[in-house]
DNA sequence: AACTAATCAACAATCATTGTTGATAACGGC
DNA sequence: GCCGTTATCAACAATGATTGTTGATTAGTT
């Protein structure tokens, strides 16, 4: 993620005005955790700058992704997650809390040279893992299962389940 | 994918009745292409058995997935794709036509032992590739781009774009 | 200061999916 | 074949994330 100032510069170069709303989104993205959904970003933004509409947040996020400064991730969690990690990496979706964890590419090995035989060409390849995140592991044997009898992956407190 | 008869047996064992609607879905899944969405399955089903409601098709597909006979795939294509390939494999989503192509696991190499250092545990890992499917490649330099100026991935004719 | 873009509130609309309901049809065990 | 229990039907309503719209207002940029 580039600095709010760098993003502001990027917007000006694209003939997009640098408004306080946009700056607020830039700042929230820089400080917040990894993979927020639009609603969470909005919640953080209004703390700094009230009266910013959710509609505007969606709009700014889209602009950022169109400029390549943000990646929209659809990992089947119900809402798009916005990723400001621009390095090559993969993701793990926690079955218990819905968190999305970055998996640095160097911790994995992914090869798919053989697929050329199928006549397809690959432009991107991402590894999507499901499992349990580190904080849920820690809470796992103590209190976690008491609050979650055996239901579906809830993904409830999207903010930061472990804070 | 197991045979319609095997699926019927499976349903009976689960105290689910084997109705003509359910059989029709079983049969369509066996003959159809790889990764249809619910609407396509419904279209095929009504050809054999009119008056089957889309609601019922959704219901049967869910039952099949709850019995582990079908996998619901959310690959960010807008609608859930239903996969009757129960072998371990990965997927490629065609940027041009939206098709989902099976990538046999033996054509790839995926390792992620290193992620244990992060304190996470992985239960499943799927490789999701984006690129161009084989038929789109064939059509690519001839007629494809003429029909698709430069718009977003359209994923229009979900049926089978190449038939 | 002026031009133009951006934002606001307040909605409506989309789309895939699931829920509901009351009536009808049909499977399966006997 | 009967009957109890399920399943399905049509016809909607509801969900939830996202985008569209509109008319008025605010505010960057030059
Ligand atoms: Mn990430
Ligand atoms: Mn598949
Ligand atoms: Zn977790
Ligand atoms: Zn294709």
Q: What is the pLDDT of residues A38-64, one digit of tens each?
A: 999 999 999 999 999 999 999 999 999
| pLDDT digits 0-9 by tens, A85-140 | 999 999 999 998 889 999 999 999 999 999 999 999 999 999 999 999 999 998 86
Beta strand A100-104 pairing with B71-73:
unpaired
Burial of B99 (0-12, 13-18, 19+ CB in 10 A): buried
* C2 C1' to B4 CA distance, Å: 73
Beta strand A89-94 pairing with B89-94:
unpaired
- Look at A137 and B121 and tell me if their CB atoms are within 8 Å: yes
Measured between alpha carbons, how far is B39 from A91 in angstroms, rounded to an integer? Answer: 30
Q: Which residues of B touch A107 (CB under 8 A)?
A: 112, 114-115, 117-118
Class of domain A4-73 (CATH, top level): mainly alpha
| B49 half-sphere exposure, CB direction, 13 A CA radius | 18
Answering whether pTM is above 0.95, one says no
DSSP state of B34: S
Q: How far is CA A9 from CA A5, A31, A70, in A?
A: 6, 19, 15
Percent above pLDDT 70 for chain A: 85
Q: Is the pLDDT of residue B157 over 60?
A: no
- Homologous superfamily of domain range B87-158: Ferric-uptake regulator, C-terminal dimerisarion domain (3.30.1490.190)
- Which of B74, B115, B127 faces A103 most closely, judged by CB atoms? B115
List residues bridging with B127 in a β-sheet. A127
Q: Which residue is nearest to nucleotide C9 (CA to C1')?
A: A53
Mean pLDDT along residues B82-104? 94
Interface test with A, best of B120, B135, B144 (most A CBs within 10 A): B120
CA distance A129 to chain B (A): 4
Lowest mean pLDDT among A78-82, B33-37, B83-87: B33-37
Measured between alpha carbons, how far is A114 from A55 in angstroms, rounded to an integer? Answer: 44
CA dihedral A160, A89, B37, A151 (to 10 degrees): -30
- DSSP string computed for A96-139: TT--EEEEEGGG-EEE-GGGGGGT-EEEEEEEEEEEE-HHHHHH
Q: Which of B5, B49, B9 is nearest to B41 (CA)?
A: B49
Domain positions in chain A: 4-73, 87-158
Q: Do domains B4-73 and B87-158 have the same CATH topology?
A: no
Q: In whole angstroms, how large is the CA radius of gyration of chain A?
A: 18
Residue of A nearest to B73 (CA): A76
Residue of B nearest to A99 (CA): B120
């Amino acid at each position: 993620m580039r600095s709010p100032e760098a993003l502001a510069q990027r917007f000006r170069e694209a003939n997009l005005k640098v408004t306080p709303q946009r700056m607020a989104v830039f700042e929230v993205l820089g400080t917040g955790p990894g993979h927020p959904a639009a609603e969470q970003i909005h919640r953080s933004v209004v703390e700094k700058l009230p009266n910013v509409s959710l509609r505007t947040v969606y709009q700014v996020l889209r602009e950022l992704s169109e400029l390549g400064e943000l990646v929209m991730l659809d990992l089947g969690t119900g809402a798009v997650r916005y990723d400001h990690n621009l390095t090559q990496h993969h993701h793990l979706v926690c079955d218990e809390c819905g968190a999305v964890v970055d998996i640095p590419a160097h911790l994995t090995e992914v090869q798919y040279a053989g697929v050329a035989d199928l006549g397809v060409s690959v432009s991107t390849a991402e590894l999507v893992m499901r499992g349990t995140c580190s904080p849920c592991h820690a809470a796992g044997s103590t209190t976690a299962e008491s609050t979650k009898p055996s239901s579906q992956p809830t993904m409830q407190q999207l903010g930061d389940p472990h804070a």
